[in-house]
Chain A
């Protein structure tokens, strides 16, 4: 039986703007198993990025129970969530979010600065991560010296370098052309298949979703369809 990594029970998320309260997610129940590659799809405003932020510990639900591994994220303080994220989640953003003043190596090293590893051990892991994403020879380059695809692969290396439980990807190919997007998606698929990484990915792109093992559709904050891929 597959081990559940992410579990949502009755999760809702509401935002208050002035006197108005907007419920973005309504009473969601969801399980994500270890080793899943889940694509979250849906129209703009459907709540997929909000759901991704909850699963990644960037935000807390307004109601319901949210577990990732052994952790109850819905009960954690902001500081606890920060520490939890450092140990358990790797993030991949649409626009890579690399720090422009740092080299690729230094960008990848950032999550390891939150660990007790020595500088030598950190650099060893950085090189392995860059090797996995195929950029071992680009470590000294700054983000401005990399193509979009390369920058996103550096971001993926940063996301996996601390060996997190979960990879959370928000439109990881939204800023890339088709060919480059397929390369990046192939890399995520490789990490899922060969390295057993559990991945949750938000995307608008049906072709991108085909790389995932499951696709979940959201509409107006509710799960409307779940599809499994071959």
Chain B
């Protein structure tokens, strides 16, 4: 009780003195705000990227690729295989018994981006006009759906926002000449919104392809996946792999997500070291400035522990203020900010929005408090060890 009262009293004295040391205290706040702002911004990029890919698909859908293929681009599914896959047990069926499955082409095309020297790779998905049977989240938000057999394109909302050339009425080279953009679609904010969708038949003719890249199926239920997968993998005619959609798309984000996180933490550690030295400097100066006050309190009978704790509390509060400022700045400037980048696992552009999540803010504040803890600890120990007699003499 007595120690607690001492801590409160000494801390109150320290905190009341902050306005008289506002300039130096702001060094801690701004330094740590910078670190947390950069860290949260970078991690929000990773989080946004991952959320876009990991948020793609549902557990009631599965994607089938050639055995050994890690993505659609390197996968080949023949017409015969596609026919077998669509007839596999576990697939949901329409009222007329038609399996809810769709064999698709997947390829890349160059799209010029204003301000960039080189064109960007954008995914072209050859699908069917009734794609909504398998992907009910699909919705045309502007223009209209492509016409089967015609060289028309519907553009994902995210990629349309990033490439000025992808406007309704414009043309884009998909394969074998220009294709007309007739609509913009959305699929709930997932990775498909970074794609161009065309009619599979038209693409097959233009690209002279004879095999699909993948088959996506809608399952009877999430639990039906095991039945579906077992049936496919035990069929001696098939060398294919089946994955739940969310698992497949999450695996597409792993490398870039990891890279961004490593980059974020590396930058944060480097900046953090600078901020910790700044905090140390300021807190040492604060202790030196208050040496006589601290010595007076110690002479009056205040213990060393309350002095240590009070200096630590001051440092932590300043760091917390810095952390909050950094997190708020990151949120205001970056949350929802949409960019596109090359996913080097698929060699294609993915448009995504930065996501400043509560978890990232919590992480940022934890970093801030860690910096405040380190920055305050050594000055606090010095304050408690201050020789009373010598410090009083300096007054």
Contact = CB atoms under 8 A, between A and B. Distances in A.
A71 interface: no
Chain A residues touching B, range: 20 to 34
A76 interface: no
Contacts of B300: 85-86, 91, 110-111, 114, 158
Interface of B: 1-2, 5-6, 9, 13, 16-17, 20, 292-293, 296-304, 388-389, 392, 395
A86 B301 contact: yes
25 contacts: A58-B299, A58-B389, A58-B392, A79-B303, A79-B304, A82-B301, A85-B299, A85-B301, A86-B300, A86-B301, A91-B300, A93-B296, A95-B395, A97-B392, A99-B296, A99-B297, A100-B17, A101-B16, A101-B17, A102-B16, A110-B297, A110-B302, A114-B6, A114-B302, A116-B1
B297 A93 contact: no
Contacts of A116: 1-2
Contacts of B299: 56, 58, 85, 91
B155 to A, nearest CB: 64
Contacts of B5: 113-114
B13 A99 contact: yes
A86 B300 CA distance: 6
A23 interface: no
A53 interface: yes
B16 A113 contact: no
Interface string A123-151: 00000000000000000000000000000
Given A82-B304, A115-B2, A158-B300, 11 more contacts: A58-B389, A59-B389, A79-B303, A82-B302, A91-B296, A91-B300, A93-B296, A99-B296, A100-B17, A110-B9, A110-B297
A82 B9 contact: no
Interface in A86-109: 86-87, 91, 93-95, 97, 99-102
Contacts of B395: 93-95, 97
Contacts, number: 68
A42 B5 CA distance: 40
Contacts of B1: 116
A204 B87 CA distance: 108
Contacts of A111: 300-301
B17 A113 contact: no
A79 to B, nearest CB: 7
A83 interface: yes
A230 to B, nearest CB: 33
Main secondary structure of the interface of B (DSSP, over half): helix
Given A58-B388, A113-B6, A114-B302, A97 B296 contact: yes
Contacts of B6: 113-114
B296 to A, nearest CB: 4
A12 to B, nearest CB: 16
Contacts of B16: 101-102
A85 B299 CA distance: 7
A104 B27 CA distance: 31
A101 B302 CA distance: 17
A53 B387 CA distance: 12
Contacts of A59: 388-389
A115 B6 CA distance: 10
A146 to B, nearest CB: 17
Contacts of A101: 13, 16-17, 20
Contacts of B302: 82, 86, 110, 114
Contacts of B388: 58-59
Given A59-B389, A97-B395, A114 B301 contact: yes
Contacts of A115: 2
Contacts of B304: 79, 82
Given A93-B296, A113-B5, A87 B303 contact: no
Nearest to B5: A113
Contacts of A91: 296, 299-300
